[in-house]
Amino acid sequence: MKRVIILLAGLILLMLSACQITPHQENDTKKIENNLAAVEDHSSIETPSELIDEKGSKKQDHSSIEAPPELTYEKGPKKQDHSSIETPQKLTDVKIPKKQNQWNLLLANGEFPLPEDFRVPALKQLSTGHMVDSRIYEDLQHMLVDAKAAGVSPIICSAYRSVDRQTTLFNQRVAREIDSGKNEENAVAATAMVIAVPGTSEHHTGLAVDIVDINYQLLNEEQENTPAQKWLMVNSYKYGFILRYPKDKVDITGIVYEPWHYRYVGKDVAKAIFERRITLEEYLDAH
């Protein structure tokens, strides 16, 4: 009987010792629990430069990022902010030509800027997406159709242009001239020889179109040697158009030679200008 009691007591002591955790074991257990808690709980983790929106998703915070200044031109090795460049002031005290009241003889150049409130009465869209004065649409279409029938392929690359668009183009060119080393005054003067000052461009009137050969679309003097230009230069007057800026008339037009720029003036006037080899300025001055 005593032996049974002793055995039971020993067994109980053994079980109690197996359930006890030593101080060292207790510390290890707490470390594991803390580590697990740290892995699972991200509530205290901060995400740098991020915000949480109402839906609980994170979005990048750009509130402290400043956008670079807008550039006024698209090409060139340097990109500087030339937004403060001012285009030449429009002339106000000018003598209007006698036939200026005829819509097809409207003159727009550096000496005769368009009125600030000028608007084209009605624009009509071409198949290329460009717009022209609706009154020249049919003659222009006939010219293009006949040109293609003659075996050449002219395409329109520019037509009506707003003053805002002209300002953008002008400033882009001025910026490139400045980047090439010119001061602002000389840059503006050089630009005005190749791009009309905003408010003085024929493109504002809807009466002018830039036409190039489909196989050579660069706007340079080589354009004159293309089949399309060779046909247009001797036939465009039949449809009421003239080559507006001839090579030998730069001193009169104020614009460099552009063997792609055609202006509608009406068939009778175009025939007179073509036969006499003069410009629109000279025609208006004589009439």
Question: What's the chain look like in SS3?
Answer: CHHHHHHHHHHHHHHHHHHCCCHHHHHHHHHHHHHHHHHHCCCCCCCCCEEECCCCCEEECCCCCCCCCCCCCCCCCCCCCCCCCCCCCCCCCCCCCCCCCCHHHCCCCCCCCCCCCCCCCCEEECCCCCEEEHHHHHHHHHHHHHHHHCCCCEEEEECCCCHHHHHHHHHHHHHHHHHCCCCHHHHHHHHHCCCCCCCCCHHHHCCEEEEEECCECCCCHHHHHCHHHHHHHHHHHHHCEEECCCHHHHHHHCCCCCCCEEEECCHHHHHHHHHHCCCHHHHHHHC
Active-site residues: which are they? 258
